[in-house]
Structure 1
Amino acid sequence: MKKNMIAIALGGLLVLSATPASVAANEPTVQAKVEYSQFVTKRQVVDQLLEDALKAFKSPSRISHAGFTAKMPSNMEIITNRLLEAYELEPYRTDLLISAANAQIYNKNVDRAIDLFEHALTVAPDHVDLHSYLAIWQKFKGNVAASNEHMAKIAKLNPAREADITRIFNTVDRVINTPLKDKPENNYKGNTAIVTLGYALNPDGSMHDVLIKRLETTFSIAKNNPDSLIVLTGGVPKNHKTEGRLMADWLIKKGISADRIIEENYATSTVDNALFSSYALARHNIDHATIISSASHVRRGQTLFEIASWKTGPKNITFDTVAYPDKPLEKLEKASDKELLGIYRDALRTYGMWSYRSKPLLAR
């Protein structure tokens, strides 16, 4: 980024004047512009840049409607640029590069993310997380040899991590190669559960048609499996209501016993769905869970639930999915690059590798 920087030492303090290049014409709608020359020390400038990145991350100016919870590209560019400006001032802060790279993953600019991860690796060549990110994203790009090089490095640094990343690869490959289905095929024995993933409520707090369709699928399966526990997960509030609460009310009105239902009213993402619901599955010692979501979403859901269960258990729990066909299943036979990117990105988050790790911008 082009920038004019003036540094003057005054009694042990550093006076900085930074004029960042414009990143978007509508940037004022995301955050107020700050004149960084008002700050006296380098630490103050870095702190303010990180605060500005956090404001962009939380900005309500992004497009937000039912089913869309991602940040707009302009927000991600602002986050990346502020983090890189901070890194120019504090070049030992590898966390800033990792956070900036992951902002680009959210922006679907994997090539730029790889460049930033590799830059960070020149600073910290034995950083296991950096090699893990690069192993994943080089594989995503089809650069198998480069991915294998990073896996070999991980194996030397931390054999357990190498085994975990290999397990993630194997899980993703198996899930994306399993045909989607819109009806359950097996009558699973033992302690079983149905897990229905929420969908963003309409602004007035009513359920979106997509969520109702998921519930209709849930109701049908629940009737045919009367002993199955039902976990309803979704906690993004709209008009003082949550998906979990409304889903439970809908099923109870249809005749499903409230005793079968567990509401999970805190999840704000698919990662949260998997992490929070897995505790319920572990508490009830579930042997098998069927995940219900839209066809374009169930593979990501299954992958994350499997990874979450590695730590929570129950041991040897199995999962399958039933899809509400928001798109014809034959059109979703092969996972798109967009879907696969989301699966890998959220697999790492569920595993415990936080995307943003530059305080105060901390987010799984």
Structure 2
Amino acid sequence: MKKIAFLVASASVLAGCSGQQAQEALASNSGNEENVKGNGVQEENGEAAGNSEENNESVSDDSDEIAEADSIEELFERVANNSPTSERIQALEEIAMYYYWHGGDVLQAEEEVFEGITLHGDYDVVEEAFRQATEIDPYDTDLMYSLASAQILQQEIDEALHTYERMLNMEEDHFEAQLMHAIYSGIEGDDEAFESGMEALDTIDEERAASYRENITSVEEIQELSFNTEVPEDLPDENHAFVVLGYALSDEGEMEETLLERLKVAKEAAEQNPDSKLIVSGGVPRQGITEADVMHEWLIEEGIEEDRIIKEDMATDTVENGLFSMQIAEEEQIEDITMITSASHMRRALVIFEEVDDYITQKNGSDVERDFSHVVYLDYDSVEEAETFEREEEIVVYRDLMRATGIWAYPGLQR
């Protein structure tokens, strides 16, 4: 049985919501993510703070307030001046989230709070803020879990595994820590630790553990995916839609090459399948323009009928692409989906969309069993290169899939 718990909003929040209501309920709790291509990282739905080679997705660029309007300087002061313990921890959490979403002056952070520690980028600030918080309160497993998430973000797997182990030494039945330790042990090739971890999960919650075994199987299966570089010829004539995933706009609100290439694929697909709808998914406005706005306008200019195109303009990352697009699919009675995105993004997108679809159909009591197909924009030199499933991509796929199942990356702070 697939999980019912999902993302920041519980089923009680989303049940009965329209697509727009569901979007509004979750939009403020978006998450960042990386899109790995080989050893590099590409942006998807928005440009966020990050190390120079690891930019992530973010929320709207005009959401620049921290908590209740504390400035970053005030947060630094609360840490440096030895405020009460709870205030220092809260300030460190807010510093971490600020640098996670927006980036900031790394040198200032080094001088004001993290003196003596060399910080190379914004995610170093995130990690060090959570590290200091765990030192102030070494009994708070949520802080430790946030530290591990920051380490996973930087692909510091050995360090994250050690952090999970510290958590399990304190709370051996901590399901999420045990699950993450098992998964990332498996990625590192430690089959014994993976198997023992999964067995431990069975003793904690057998039904939930079985559900996550299904998730792990889905990632194993997606590794064998053969990419379609041409639009499939046997797509349904009825109740079918293409879902076109967005890509970060320039600061001026213009399309980058990656998004344009995805749209060229979408245009060809729409022309070959005149009865299919198109859901264009992507928020993160630049100059007041979202990715969905740009995609919608471009497709119309290229001759695609406006009434075939549905805008989903709230998503800030692939998980929200899935959540909001599949809610639209339910409302529009769309039974089959063909995904359109870059090859470097497709495996992650398919895993997440299928997980979200399971959740949405269960929440709505729907008996629809959707078929997912795909066609890629090939952003590699060859199909063979694209189909190689690298360790870096596996880390990102698991990280985002865990978010899609309802596990928060930063408990109480960001899903």
Shorter-chain TM-score bucket reads 0.7 to 0.9
Gaps of 5+ in 2: 1-50, 52-70, 107-118
Output aligned runs, 1:211-250, within 5 Å.
Answer: 211-250=259-298
Q: Does 1:253 align with 2:304?
A: no
| Alignment-derived partner of residue 151 in structure 1 | 198
Q: State which of 146, 157, 178 in structure 2 corresponds to 1:99.
A: 146
What amino acid sits opposite 2:385 in the alignment? K
Query: RMSD of aligned C-alpha atoms?
Result: 2.1
Equivalent residue, structure 2, for 1:312 = 360
Superposition misfits of 4+ residues, deviation over 4 angstroms: 30-33
> 1 or 2, which has the higher strand percentage?
1
* Per-residue deviation, 1:95: 0.3
1:282 aligns with 2:336: no
Percent of pairs with identical residues: 30
Partner Cα separation in structure 1 for residue 258 and residue 121 of structure 2: 28
Give the aligned partner of residue 249 of structure 2. Answer: 201
Higher relative contact order (CA 8 A, sep 6+): 2
**Which of residues 343, 352, 355 in structure 1 aligns to 2:397?**
343
Once the 2 structures are TM-superposed, how far is the Cα of residue 153 of structure 1 from its aligned partner?
Answer: 1.3
| 5+ long unaligned stretches in structure 1 | 1-23, 25-29, 64-71
One-letter amino acid matched to 1:57 = Y
Contact in 2 for aligned 1:31/1:56 (Cα 8 Å): no
Partner Cα separation in structure 1 for residue 332 and residue 149 of structure 2: 35
- Is the contact made by 1:198 and 1:232 (CA closer than 8 Å) also made in structure 2? yes
What SS does the aligned partner of 1:267 have? coil
**TM-score (normalised: structure 2):** 0.74
Q: Is the 8 A contact 1:237 1:243 kept in 2?
A: yes
Distance between the aligned counterparts of 2:376 and 2:120, measured in 1? 29
Q: Residue 296 of structure 1 aligns to a residue in which SS?
A: helix
May I ask how many residue pairs the two structures share in their alignment? 325
Question: Do the aligned residues in 2 keep the contact of 1:31 with 1:59 (CA within 8 Å)?
Answer: no
Aligned equivalent of 1:173, options 191, 213, 220: 220
CA–CA distance in structure 2, aligned partners of residues 99 and 251 of structure 1: 41
- Partner deviation per Cα, 1:231-290 (whole Å, 9 max, x = no partner): 100101111101101101111122212211110111111111111111111222322211
Q: Is it true that 1:53 corresponds to 2:96 in the alignment?
A: yes
1:297 aligns to what SS in structure 2? helix
Which protein shows a greater Rg?
1
Aligned counterpart, 2:59:
none
CA shift in 2, pair 1:217/1:155, >3 Å: same
Q: Could you list the per-position Cα deviations for residues 147-176 of structure 1 after superposition, in whole angstroms to 9, with x for gaps in the alignment? A: 111111111211221122111111112222
* TM-aligned CA deviation for residue 37 of structure 1: 5.4
1:293 and 2:341 are equivalent in the alignment: yes
Mapped contact 2:232–2:375 kept (Cα < 8 A): no
Measure how far apart 1:39 and its partner are: 3.8
Contact persistence 1:199–1:243 (CA under 8 A): yes
Question: What's the secondary structure of 1:266's corresponding residue?
Answer: coil
Q: Normalised by the size of structure 1, how large is the TM-score?
A: 0.84
> How much has 1:333 moved relative to structure 2?
1.9
Contact between 1:264 and 1:277, CA under 8 Å: does it hold in 2?
A: yes
**Is the partner of 2:260 in helix, strand or coil?**
helix
